[in-house]
Amino acid sequence: MVGARRTFTGSIASGLLVLAACGGDRDPGGAPARAPSLDVPAIAVAHVDAGGPLAKAAPVAPTWPRVKSIDLDLFYACALFEDGRVACWGRREANGAFSAKAEIVDGIPPMDRLEVGGNFACARASADRGLWCWGEGQSGQLGTRKVASGLQPPARVRDRGGKPLVAEDFLVGSSHVCVLTPDGAVSCWGGSTSGECGRMAKHDATGNWLPVLEPAVVFRGATRLFGGAYTSCAVDAKEQLFCWGSQEAGYSGKGDTAAPKKVAVEGRVKDMAFASGHACLLNDAGHVFCRGWNPGGQLGSAGRPQKEMDGKGPWHEDFEPELVRIVELAKTYTSVAASRHETCAVSTDHDLTCLGTPDWTTNLTRNVAAGRGAATPTPWRPHCTEVEVPAPASFRRPPAPVPSTSNGPPLVAAGPRFTTWSCNPRPEPGMDDVVAVAADMGRRCTVHADGRVRCVGERAFGTRRTIDDAPALVELPR
């Protein structure tokens, strides 16, 4: 979920009704695109001829499995190999511990697409486009039409008549799944607390949310899908974008919605990414657009002027409801990913550039002087400068200053002005051969031209969470 979704396919906190991402690249012409080719020059072994110049290098094939794409959620992550196998790690076991070892998922055919949700995943078979899901099914997200406790083995999703479901495209959220069938219809099932399955969830007698177990058509005429934790989006044949679910994820409006809402976009949608406070879209021109909150500078200068989110003013004072161009990301990009306080994009020359503040760099504490008007920028925004900007016309000043205890966005400055962040994008060191990126609340993973995967940020190990503050190579099974 990437996207995180996903790439995704992605996140446990509400991604903007928006844009995981964890969904991976898609061809703007319609059908989901295959991941970018990872063909690179073979490793060279040089030798010197006696008395002669350096001979032509002899190619040697890599000895590790090559990864085609990756997706992740809060702790769970899966990689899709070029040969169609899938390996996953970070799964939460029944005793609450996390499995840090990557293991091949048995019992599934070769796959061509993969998305990860909250401790579950789904993938599409390359031969017949059948959809397979596995992992936790407490919200009915595995498509079995029942709630299942504990970890479930892979099973093929079937329609109401018991026939194998054919997926032209699909999306995976925190606890829901939507599928696009060959007739252009989009059906969803699983958790729907924000309307992400096309209906608002109800409570049972004990107050628990009731999941959507029987898929129902939410949208017709779709050509491809994107989704986040509590958000679902579809693109139609006219290249129009429609989204439903969490209002933080893709349309201008207040409150969650179970009805698809049209979202104004510039150009055609190529990729979308959903985080817990903002969402982003990549169009066919390779430009990045985002909406949402900007506490870590993840929207750059496009973010709304920020004050602490203390509930004293209208929600939209801090929230940028429209998709706006992220001018700091000035290259042409092929994919985009979003985590809680960061936006990252892969350029056509395979550089990874990020904007904002990754969660793993700090515990997000703020050093704030007394009163609203004095805030000291903290080290967790090393690429940002605090600047003063005019307050929105809708701003209504509280009757008295209130000291902030927020870990979030900047404070209201003295007088009728706001403070926000001016942030510089940062090319990530050693990330000049990236072909795909996926991110979630506490970590980011990249697929490199050599087919290997590197991750940075929080990771699960046994019952503990640790932090890799530099990209670490993921050991995958051969």
Residues contacting 429, CB < 8 A, separation 6+ = none
pLDDT at 80: 97
Burial class of 412 by CB neighbour count within 10 A (0 to 12, 13 to 18, 19+): buried
Cα–Cα distances (Å) from 355 to 273, 290, 360, 367, 409, in that order, read: 14, 12, 14, 22, 15
Structure tokens at 151: 């970890």
Q: Which residues of 374-389 are buried (b: 16+ CB within 10 A; e: fewer)?
A: ebeeeebbebbebeee
Structure tokens at 275: 């985080």
Domain-located, residue 430? yes
Domain-located, residue 247? yes
- Please tell me the least confidently modeled range out of 58-67, 356-365, 469-478: 356-365
Name the 3-class secondary structure at 259: strand
What mean pLDDT, rounded, does the chain reach?
75
Backbone angles phi, psi at 103, to 5 degrees: -130, 145
pLDDT at 302: 77
Please state, as a whole number, how many other Cβ atoms lie within 10 Å of the Cβ of residue 417.
14
Whether residue 188 contacts residue 198, with contact meaning beta carbons closer than 8 Å, is answered with yes
The more confident residue out of 234 and 100 is 234
Long-range contacts of 149-155 (CB under 8 A, 24+ apart): 150/94, 151/91, 151/93, 151/94, 151/119, 153/107, 154/105, 154/106, 154/107, 154/108
Using CA atoms, how far apart are residues 92 and 435, in angstroms rounded to an integer? 28
Rounding to the nearest 10 degrees, give the CA dihedral for residues 456, 460, 465, 470.
-10
Cis peptide, bond prior to residue 6, ω within 30 of zero: yes
Structure tokens at 109: 């055919």
Domain-located, residue 5? no
pLDDT digits (tens, 9 = 90+) for 272-325: 999 888 899 999 999 999 998 887 788 887 776 555 444 344 444 567 888 999
pLDDT digits (tens, 9 = 90+) for 137-193: 999 999 999 999 889 999 999 998 999 999 999 999 999 999 999 999 999 999 999
Name the residue among 230, 174, 220, 221 with its Cα closest to residue 18: 230
Name the residue among 208, 166, 176, 196 with its Cα closest to residue 261: 196
Structure tokens at 385: 């400068």
Using CA atoms, how far apart are residues 84 and 69, in angstroms rounded to an integer? 10
- For residue 85, the enclosing domain spans 59-361+425-473
Domain-located, residue 246? yes
Domain-located, residue 462? yes
Name the residue among 209, 251, 202 with its Cα closest to residue 231: 251
Could you give the number of structural domains in the chain?
Answer: 1
Pairing between β-strand 222-228 and β-strand 231-236 as defined by DSSP bridges: antiparallel
Domain-located, residue 72? yes
DSSP 15-37: PPS---B------TTSSPPPPPP
Domain-located, residue 283? yes
If pLDDT is split at 50, 70 and 90, which confidence band does 216 have? confident
Whether residue 269 contacts residue 287, with contact meaning beta carbons closer than 8 Å, is answered with no
Domain-located, residue 419? no
pLDDT digits (tens, 9 = 90+) for 406-460: 344 443 334 444 555 566 677 787 899 999 999 987 789 999 999 999 988 876 5
Cα–Cα distances (Å) from 52 to 49, 55, 56, 114, 315, in that order, read: 5, 8, 12, 50, 73
What is the identity of the amino acid at 148? Answer: A
Query: E strand or H helix at 121, and its extent?
Result: strand 120-125
CATH (domain of 467):
2.130.10.30
Whether residue 303 contacts residue 409, with contact meaning beta carbons closer than 8 Å, is answered with no
Structure tokens at 366: 């703020």
Burial class of 226 by CB neighbour count within 10 A (0 to 12, 13 to 18, 19+): buried
HSE of 396, CA atoms in CB hemisphere, 13 A: 7
pTM reported for the whole predicted model? 0.76
Using CA atoms, how far apart are residues 185 and 395, in angstroms rounded to an integer? 43
Whether residue 335 contacts residue 444, with contact meaning beta carbons closer than 8 Å, is answered with no
The more confident residue out of 121 and 21 is 121
Burial class of 319 by CB neighbour count within 10 A (0 to 12, 13 to 18, 19+): buried
Q: Report how far apart the first and last C-alpha atoms of the chain are (Å, whole number).
A: 24
